[in-house]
């Protein structure tokens, strides 16, 4: 169904499809992060315990995991804003 306004065309089906794609994509991204980040933190803590130089960056409270989480949030925000501009 297509609605025409003075400013732009508005395609409901395209918007609904895009929203469903975005929701499913976000769920997949966050589920992957929920599984992989704790595993990586455990491995980083083990690496730090061995005395490897700069191993503390990869420990469970290290900066690497904070950067990974920030990157995921920025990816979600950029995708949301970019998707809104493309429609």
Give residue 82's pLDDT.
Answer: 75
Name the residue range of residue 42's domain.
Answer: 35-87
Evaluate whether residue 86 is within a structural domain. Answer: yes
Question: SS3 for 68?
Answer: helix
Evaluate whether residue 13 is within a structural domain. Answer: no
Evaluate whether residue 83 is within a structural domain. Answer: yes
Evaluate whether residue 5 is within a structural domain. Answer: no
Evaluate whether residue 40 is within a structural domain. Answer: yes
Evaluate whether residue 28 is within a structural domain. Answer: no
Question: Is 58 in contact with 47 (CB distance < 8 Å)?
Answer: yes
- pLDDT, one tens digit for every residue, the chain (87 residues): 555 655 556 678 888 888 898 899 999 999 999 999 999 999 999 999 999 999 999 999 999 999 999 999 999 889 888 766 665
Evaluate whether residue 7 is within a structural domain. Answer: no
Give residue 83's pLDDT.
Answer: 63
Task: State the pTM of this model.
Answer: 0.71
How many structural domains comprise the chain? Answer: 1
Nearest of 69, 72, 45, 73 to residue 57 by alpha carbon: 45
Give residue 67's pLDDT.
Answer: 95
Give residue 17's pLDDT.
Answer: 86
């Amino acid at each position: 169904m297509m609605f025409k306004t003075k400013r732009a065309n508005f395609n409901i089906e395209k918007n609904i499809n895009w929203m469903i794609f975005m929701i499913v994509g976000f769920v997949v991204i966050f589920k992957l992060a929920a599984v992989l980040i704790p595993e990586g933190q455990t491995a980083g803590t083990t690496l730090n315990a061995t005395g490897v130089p700069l191993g503390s960056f990869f420990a469970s409270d290290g900066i690497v995991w904070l950067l990974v989480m920030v990157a995921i949030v920025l990816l979600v925000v950029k995708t949301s804003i970019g998707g809104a501009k493309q429609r």
